[in-house]
A and B are shown apart, each in its own frame.
Chain A
Amino acid sequence: MSAVTVAHDTDGVTIAVFLVLFGAVTIIGFVAARWQRAKTASLDEWGLGGRRFGSVITWFLLGGDLYTAYTFVAVPALVFGVGAQGFFALPYTILVYPLVFVALPRLWTVAHRKGYVTPADFVRGRFGSRNLSTAIALTGLLATMPYIALQLVGIQVVLGAMGITGDWPLILAFAILAGYTYQSGLRAPALIAVVKDVLIYLTIIVAVIYIPSKLGGFGHIFDTAGAALTKKDPPGALIPGTTDAQVAYATLALGSAMALFLYPHALTASLSASSATTLRRNAAVLPAYSFLLGLIALLGYMAITAGIQPSGPNYAVPDLFAFMFPGWFTGVAFAAIAIGALVPAAVMSIAAANLFTRNLWAEYVNPNMTDEEESKVAKIVSLGVKLGALAFVIVLPTKYAIDLQLLGGVWILQTAPAVALGLYRRMHRHALLAGWATGMAVGTALAIDQSFKSSVYPLDFLGLHINAYEAVYALAANLVVSIVGTLVLNALKVPNGPDATAPEDYVAPVDAGGAPLPATADEDRRAGRFQRPASTGART
């Protein structure tokens, strides 16, 4: 195995192919505004695409949204660096879907009946607590911002690999993204996701057939990578051998799986589905992407076997592609990654804008917005969110975005007792708020104590040695406070807030595959200020 350093030369063919594909996607993004457009301007239209996406578009949108460009760059880079430990992304993205199948149809149904757009809307209605819904909204915003910044890092990496340096290409790419998100809302990423997914599937299928054929087959790749990993400092492993490594592996998979659908962008894409049944069907077919992610992770081993010496931690895969593929196909692959960054970045900025508009602006500044004003505020906020992420990446070192994104995963899991368990049980609002604060504090303290070097924390507690994902400890502390607090507050007869939802709101007759029943006037009144979407039951 000889060391290969891939020079980041400017290859005309690669850049031409890249620009053609990027240009095509830009046109789609702007034209998307005309697709299935409603006559009225409202947050339901701009921020949720009118809640009309059928099974196929939902599949593309959720797949394009959850499996981000940064994932495609970072997961194989981690596998390249540490071996098996980075492969936790596979069990993580498998275990997500049983959770989605069980819980999300309930959330979709109640959100549809009550006109909820964000997870914090649901918490506001369910627990009647403005403090709690504000905490949920702020957590969502905090967790989403660095995630958007990381999508930019993904674009930066492929631009860098093509020899394009400087800030202006990144600023241009983001200006285009901001333009069509502003104009088309969620419809833009929904249509672009189709192109993105086709390109990603094409790239990865070609990569996992072509590259191993050049490198002497998978058996040889695993053997060479296994031997090379043991020589790394600190040594990696092909198979997790120690109990510590195995506990870390399992808790990372479980914690990440529970956290994924609490992210505002995941919920935004889910709530845009046309029915609860659409979501159930998607829970069965979305694992196709997880299989793909497993194969993408193995690109890290292929890079080891090819002897790639990446110029930066995230360059393992771009350098592998540039080294193995002819120039034109490298252009396709790089376009796939860059376009792969645009879809989640757009959905995340829309999700953040929805949260800000619904749960901060309407709550504290202007409670009497019309539907049109609400969508106008959200559109402007989506620009601000992206500008913030851009400034973040350009001004601060990449390390901050990565550290904060790691912390974001720990934070977002702390909304689970209110948002996810809230679909089934109603704990006390004050206890939930105290639990959330405890979880945030514990998770942040553990991450800082580790200097953000690892998302796993070794803990010696009551003679036990545990080496688990930080978010899991924080969630445990959160749950203890929430449950004990609820028992105490209920025993003391401290009044809980009003519940705007009724048990039947969670299980609509959509279970049979039909359109939901229209809500009664009484239900609308109980829903408070939340307006029902203008069109119901329109399915594609």
Chain B
Amino acid sequence: MSNSRARGWYLLLVLPFIGLLYPPLYSRHDPELFGFPFFYWYQLAWVPVTAALTILVYRRVVHR
């Protein structure tokens, strides 16, 4: 495993921090989805996205 390439993939795991730790990005009511205000469905959507990113990094870095 080449270390610098591995580190590049790990950077993907920074995305959830950017997406979730700056509330002005998502402190809004609209657009709604299935009756959920944006604030709620946006954050819930980060659950599968973060899981997918983690699986991707796992497959690229660890499981090759």
A101: Cβ under 8 A from any B Cβ: yes
Asked if A513 is at the interface (CB within 8 A of a chain B CB), the reply is yes
- Which segment, of A178-186, A280-288, A389-397, faces chain B? A280-288
> When the two chains form their complex, are residues B37 and A238 in contact, meaning their CB atoms are under 8 A apart?
yes
Interface string of A474-486 (1 = CB under 8 A from B): 0000000000000
Determine the distance from Cα of A90 to Cα of B41 in the docked complex, in whole angstroms. 11
A218-B35 contact in complex given A91-B21, A94-B16, C-beta closer than 8 Å: yes
| Given A101-B57, A222-B36, A246:B24 Cβ within 8 A | yes
* B43 close to A246 (CB less than 8 A): no
Instruction: Using A90-B43, A254-B21, A294-B43 as known contacts, say yes or no to A97 and B27 having CB atoms under 8 A apart.
Output: no
Select which of A246, A280, A288 is within 8 A of B27 by beta carbon.
A246
A250–B50 touching, CB < 8 Å? no
Which B residues are CB-close (under 8 A) to A294? 40, 43-44, 47
Residue of A nearest to B12 (CB): A98
Residues in A neighbouring B13, C-beta threshold 8 A: 98, 101-102
Interface size class of A (residues with CB under 8 A): 35 or more
- Given A101-B57, A284-B51: A218 touches B36 (CB 8 Å cut-off): yes
CB–CB B39/A84 < 8 A? yes
Q: Which listed residue, B28, B29, B37, B50, touches A98 by the CB 8 Å rule?
A: B50
Q: Please, which residues of chain A bring their CB within 8 A of the CB of B32?
A: 219
A359 contacts partner chain B, Cβ-Cβ < 8 Å: no
Find out whether the CB atom of B16 lies under 8 angstroms from the CB atom of A284: no
- Give the nearest-CB partner of B23 in chain A: A246
Query: In whole angstroms, how far apart are the Cα atoms of A253 and B39 in the complex?
Result: 15
Task: Name the residue among A238, A281, A287 with the largest chain B CB count within 10 angstroms.
Answer: A287
Task: Give chain B residues whose Cβ lies under 8 Å from the Cβ of A84.
Answer: 39
Residues of the B chain whose Cβ atoms lie less than 8 Å from the Cβ of A95:
16-17, 20-21
Is residue A134 contacting chain B, with contact meaning CB distance below 8 A?
no
Q: When A219-B35, A287-B51 are in contact, do A102 and B29 touch as well, CB less than 8 Å?
A: no
Task: Give the secondary structure class of A's interface.
Answer: helix
Does residue A249 face the partner (Cβ distance < 8 Å to B)? yes
Interface presence of A19 (CB below 8 A): no
| A-B contact number at CB 8 A | 105
A97 and B40 within 8 A (CB): no
Write the A370-405 contact mask toward B (1 if CB under 8 angstroms, else 0): 000000000000000000000000000000000000
A240, closest chain B residue (CB): B27
For the complex, give the distance between the alpha carbons of A409 and B40 in Å. 25
Give the CA-CA distance A98 to B16 in the complex, in Å.
Answer: 8
Contact among B14, B28, B63 for A239, CB-based, below 8 A? B28
CB–CB A217/B29 < 8 A: no
Residues in A neighbouring B17, C-beta threshold 8 A:
95, 98, 254
Residues of A near B57 (CB, < 8 A) are: 101
The answer on a CB contact under 8 Å between A222 and B23 is no
Q: Does B47 lie within 8 Å of A250, measured CB to CB?
A: no
Q: Does A290 contact B (CB under 8 A)?
A: yes
A residues in contact with B20, CB < 8 Å:
91, 94-95, 250, 253
Min CB distance, B8 to chain A, in Å? 14
A241 within 8 A of B: yes
The residue among B23, B39, B50 with the most chain A CB atoms within 10 A of its own CB is B23
Contacts of A298 in B (CB 8 A): 40
The proximity string for B residues 23-64 relative to A, scoring 1 for CB distances below 8 Å and 0 otherwise, is: 110011100101111011001101110110111011000110
B22 CB contacts on chain A under 8 angstroms: 250
B54 (CB) vs chain A CBs: closest residue: A284
The docked-state distance in angstroms from the alpha carbon of A220 to that of B36 is 10
- Which residues from A are CB-within-8-Å of B58? 101, 280-281, 284
* CB-defined contacts of A241 to chain B, threshold 8 Å: 27
Complex: A194 Cα to B13 Cα, angstroms:
29
User: Hey, which chain B residues are within 8 Å of A272, CB to CB?
Assistant: none
Q: Is A277 an interface residue (CB 8 A)?
A: yes
Q: Which residues of A contact B10 (CB under 8 A)?
A: 102
Beta-carbon nearest neighbor of B43 in chain A: A90
Given contacts A101-B54, A253-B20, A277-B62, contact A220 B35 (CB under 8 A): yes
Q: Which of A98, A249, A254 has the most CB of B within 10 A?
A: A98
The answer to whether B35 and A217 have CB atoms under 8 Å apart is yes
Chain B residues at the A interface, C-beta cutoff of 8 Å = 1, 10, 13-14, 16-17, 20-24, 27-29, 32, 34-37, 39-40, 43-44, 46-48, 50-51, 53-55, 57-58, 62-63
8 further A-B pairs in the complex, CB-CB below 8 A; given A97-B51, A291-B48: A84-B39, A87-B43, A91-B46, A95-B17, A97-B54, A222-B35, A241-B27, A288-B51
Contacts A/B (CB < 8 Å), 20 sampled: A94-B20, A95-B17, A95-B20, A98-B14, A218-B34, A220-B35, A239-B27, A239-B28, A239-B39, A240-B23, A240-B39, A250-B20, A250-B23, A254-B17, A280-B62, A284-B51, A285-B51, A287-B47, A291-B47, A291-B48
Please report A residues at the B interface, Cβ cutoff 8 Å. 84, 87, 90-91, 94-95, 97-98, 101-102, 217-222, 238-241, 246, 249-250, 253-254, 277, 280-281, 283-285, 287-288, 290-291, 294, 298, 511-513
| 10 interchain residue pairs of minimum CB distance | A219-B35, A218-B35, A246-B23, A98-B13, A91-B20, A284-B54, A291-B47, A287-B51, A284-B55, A250-B21
